[in-house]
Structure 1
Amino acid sequence: MAITTLVSYLFGILRDRILAQQFGAARALDAYNAAFTAPDLILNIFVAGALTAAFIPIFAELKNRGEDHKQFTNAVLNSSLVVVIIVGLIVFLLAPFLSHLIVPGFDAASRSTFVNLLRILLLSPIIFAISNTLGSMLVSEERFFWYGTSAVLYNVGIIAGTLLLSHKIGIYATAVGAIGGAVLHLVARMIGLWKSDYKFKFQFKLNDQYKRFLRLMAPKMIGHPVEQMIFLGFTIIASTLSAGSIAILNFANKFQSMPINIIGITFALTAFPVLAKMTAEKDRQAFSKEIKFTLKIILLTSVAAAILLYLIRQPLIAYILGGGAFTESAVKTTAYTLGFFSLSIPTESLNHLIARGFYSLKNSITPVIVGLCGLALAVGAGYFFAVKLNMGVAGLALGYFFGSLLKVSVLTFLLRRLSRKYFSVGKEIIAAEIAETHETLVSK
């Protein structure tokens, strides 16, 4: 799994390099990135959150008890497909109207390109609805090779489409490649389940397990797509800025997200089962120790990663994205934007840990509410910095930091209060650890 994840990251970097050098920071690439916002939002609201929060635990429980997990899988898969197809058709028909909402700063020609790309890319959530369901089955059955390989093949599809067709159909080649990559993503997971006892049937049986699935997925339908909603807001604002702003925003964000995924998500996922176990056992000392230890590790490594990324951002962007149609000016603007994005590496990394502290205490609604508040601040501050203070696209990255800072501050405070209901976690647990880590950093 670790190897396929690394390979997927490398292919993702190669994909971005090809897109940057092929199209540059221009309206065509802006339109492509903006067109992804609606399909991504559909996928994250109706599929991704539901699978992470509800499908895997119920599927594993049914299989361990020897009950009919196949019937449950078909009910989830078919209902997801029906909903995604209906929503996709509505978005397809409303695409010209949505272009005025999502990319209000585009001219008529660019809006037309956006509409065409959006309609092509609406196939992707349909394919991923199937693929992600199969992927959840692979994870539950601990078949990680094909699960990880699918992400690599998705990037391969985008790269191949761009290289083979862009000289004929321009930016549409990348959209075609994305759909081809989604098909490869699905095929890989079908191969992974080739010897499984699962057989697809078009059936809906709304039994107790499915009703439980719906109850579990409801909070995630709101909370899971918060990040996509932030960048939808940023896309709307960036469309009113100079050409290439949406592309630059997405490139810079991808560089920022890598250390967060490696540090924040990895350590938070590792700590989560321990925190859940300690909560179940009412073990205050073990819970406190795990929070303290993981908090220290995340703070030290994420701050170091943020500083390093800030220092090397200019040569890094120039080496990976520079050349071809991606001009020196685009490199400088991307590096400038990445500098502000690097501020949020520690806060976002900590957010993953603190949120899982709430999940371990059986509270999933608080991170959702605070996340929505962070969304409002991030977009509002982003607009203020980018437009009112004329910072351009870099102002959106600064707004993102303030939204992230609000989330981690409020969630940390509320986690301390909530945890007292379970085992009187002292006031000093988080605050003292931050002070200790600060002293460690200063001494270095």
Structure 2
Amino acid sequence: MSKVAKAAVGLMAATLVAKILGFGRELALASAYGASGVSDAFLVAMNIPAVIFTAIGTSLGTAFIPLYCEVNANKGEKASNKFTNNVFNIVVIICLLLSAIGAIFTPQIVKIFAVGFEGETLRLAVYFTRVMILGLAFLGMSYIMMAYLQVKENFIIPGLMPVPYNILIITSIIISVKISPYLLPWGTLIGLSLQFLFQLPFAMKKGYRYKSYIDVKDEHLKRMLWLIAPVLIGVAVNQINTIVDRTIASTLVEGSISALNYATKLNQFVMGMFIVSISSVVYPMLSKLSSENNKEQFNKSIITSVNTVTLLVIPISIGAIILANPIVKLLFQRGEFDARATHMTAVALTFYSIGMIGYGLRDILGKVFYSIQDTKTPMINGVIAMILNITLNILFVKFTNMQLAGLAFATSISALFTITLLFISLKRKIGSFGGKSIALGMIKSLISGIIMAVVTLFTYNTMANLIGSGFIKEAITLVISVAIGAIVYGISIIILKVDEVNIILDKVREKLNKR
């Protein structure tokens, strides 16, 4: 297995651990406080620093990596460390200023995020937010360290970054039940600091040395600010799409917003596990190759990244389409989540899954443009896709009977349209980069996916008739059907000689022969 593949697999494993702990955090809060004013206040308070800084932090990391690679390639390790400290110190100062402003105007900020809060719930939300907003500096430092470690080819530690954070929050939830709810935000604040402190020793091991250095006139810092702006707009575009979807969903039948939300969470799990892991590993590598002007290897990396995402996402997408109802039923249908809610969520999941390949490749192609320090093209294409999404939302909801399905389908169409634009733009930007190889890989994956779908659906229906209903029986039916489908897909792509699979098989044969 190649170094890049090992890093991607390691990051996927780290992400899975982090997501399990994140789910445990939600369970702990639900168990301790249920659906109460305390839990509402805590969730809103946690969301405020995230909304304020997550987009900025993501943009910082995106702009930092290619410029670090450029400085390191042209001026050496000492200059790149100086650049890192310059960015680091300026981010800390900005975050401290934001924290001070946030602490002063906390009641007004909370009112923006939770208009309906009043009485004790409002007081708790203000207190929780005032404490948590002090952690903005730690949040900023964490993003810089994460980008630094990624450029140094350490991906597992950034992937595990949420682990100490979630452990501290779970601990504070348990303690707060016995002592006081006012302890809740302090666990989160300590958790935010641990995200940074957890990464720092590994960054120092890779060569990072802190120095109190600031140079606002640095040319690379100015270029970084120019790169950040379009990325921020791109993030805002995605947020606008989500807001529009939910606004229109609020005009449909009751439960439409929840159905969209649950279906989105399932899609985001796939994105977080596979796509983000691959793009996080590939991005620093592409940035280095771009700074070294290694066009041949750069193009090969694009082909491998795109084909790998296609290979992983197409079977998941097809599987989600044909098994949407049993998947949603198994995961969510209990308590107040009834058969109607299952059907609505399954419909949304089906139509979201049509565009899953679009969401995945959009992230990868965006990173390709960022690696060559072009943040404007993804932003422009993102704005076009947003306009298309909003237009289709209105058309599908107002002039067809698709309703909820129409909202999800519009998102899928706009995502597929975006990657088409990005492929065209990339060819114009860098010339031919292996489009035929990518198209062939996609066709082979689609053929294998269709064969898998037929076998999986036949297996599921046969087993469901034989075994019957009930949670355990349905879980067994679903797991066995998915496993058989995965085996069929694997055999199909081997028979069709998909390049990325052949590379893995050759590596396995080499190791077996050595042994």
In the superposition, the TM-score normalised over structure 2's length comes to 0.65
Q: Deviations over 1:291-336 (max 9, x none)?
A: 566544433431211233455556656666677xx63349736656
2:136 to 108, 111, 125: 125
Distance 2:411 2:37 in 1: 23
Give the aligned partner of residue 156 of structure 1.
Answer: 167
Whether 1:350 aligns to 2:356 is no
Question: SS of 1:328's equivalent?
Answer: coil
RMSD, aligned α-carbons: 4.8
**C-alpha contact (below 8 Å) 1:150/1:188 kept by paired residues:** yes
Q: Could you say which structure has the greater relative contact order, defined with CA pairs below 8 angstroms and 6 or more residues apart?
A: 1
Q: Deviations over 1:380-429 (max 9, x none)?
A: 7668889999999887655543442342233234334x15xx43569867
2:431 to 423, 429, 440: 423
Give the aligned partner of residue 306 of structure 1.
Answer: 317
Distance 2:402 2:36 in 1: 19
Give the drift of 1:184.
2.2
Whether 1:327 aligns to 2:336 is yes
**C-alpha contact (below 8 Å) 1:41/1:228 kept by paired residues:** no
Which shifted more, 363-372 or 433-442? 433-442
**C-alpha contact (below 8 Å) 1:45/1:221 kept by paired residues:** yes
**C-alpha contact (below 8 Å) 2:92/2:140 kept by paired residues:** yes
Whether 1:186 aligns to 2:196 is yes
Give the aligned partner of residue 139 of structure 1.
Answer: 150
Give the drift of 1:22.
5.5
1:409 to 396, 420, 428: 420
Question: SS of 1:5's equivalent?
Answer: helix
Give the aligned partner of residue 370 of structure 1.
Answer: 381
**C-alpha contact (below 8 Å) 1:51/1:133 kept by paired residues:** yes
Structure whose CA Rg is larger: 2
**C-alpha contact (below 8 Å) 2:249/2:256 kept by paired residues:** yes
Distance 2:267 2:399 in 1: 25
**C-alpha contact (below 8 Å) 1:259/1:345 kept by paired residues:** no
Amino acid at match of 1:327: E
Amino acid at match of 2:272: N
Change in Cα spacing, 1:412 to 1:140, as seen in structure 2 (3 Å) is: closer
Give the drift of 1:75.
2.3
Distance 1:24 1:384 in 2: 39
Change in Cα spacing, 1:307 to 1:93, as seen in structure 2 (3 Å) is: farther
Change in Cα spacing, 1:146 to 1:345, as seen in structure 2 (3 Å) is: same
**C-alpha contact (below 8 Å) 2:369/2:378 kept by paired residues:** yes
Give the drift of 1:79.
1.4
Question: SS of 1:67's equivalent?
Answer: helix
Whether 1:258 aligns to 2:269 is yes
**1:104-115 matched pairs, under 5 angstroms:** 106=116, 108=118, 112=122
Change in Cα spacing, 1:143 to 1:364, as seen in structure 2 (3 Å) is: closer
Give the drift of 1:366.
0.8
Change in Cα spacing, 1:51 to 1:263, as seen in structure 2 (3 Å) is: closer
Give the drift of 1:36.
4.9
Give the drift of 1:350.
1.7
Amino acid at match of 1:423: G
Give the drift of 1:77.
1.9
Whether 1:43 aligns to 2:40 is no
Q: Deviations over 1:19-62 (max 9, x none)?
A: 45556678876665555554234323433312232257427844
Whether 1:53 aligns to 2:47 is no
**C-alpha contact (below 8 Å) 1:161/1:177 kept by paired residues:** yes
2:88 to 68, 74, 77: 77
Amino acid at match of 1:405: L
Give the aligned partner of residue 225 of structure 2.
Answer: 214
Change in Cα spacing, 1:24 to 1:349, as seen in structure 2 (3 Å) is: farther
Unmatched 5+ residue regions in structure 2?
1-9, 453-515
Change in Cα spacing, 1:153 to 1:404, as seen in structure 2 (3 Å) is: same
Give the drift of 1:290.
6.2
Give the drift of 1:149.
3.5
Which shifted more, 81-90 or 58-67? 58-67
Amino acid at match of 1:189: Q
Amino acid at match of 1:178: T
Distance 1:260 1:57 in 2: 26
Count residues with an aligned counterpart: 435
Which shifted more, 365-374 or 44-53? 44-53
Which shifted more, 350-359 or 240-249? 240-249
**C-alpha contact (below 8 Å) 1:128/1:186 kept by paired residues:** yes
Distance 2:244 2:127 in 1: 21
Give the drift of 1:5.
3.1
Question: SS of 1:342's equivalent?
Answer: helix
Q: Deviations over 1:108-142 (max 9, x none)?
A: 56983665554444334322112222333333445
**C-alpha contact (below 8 Å) 2:309/2:360 kept by paired residues:** yes
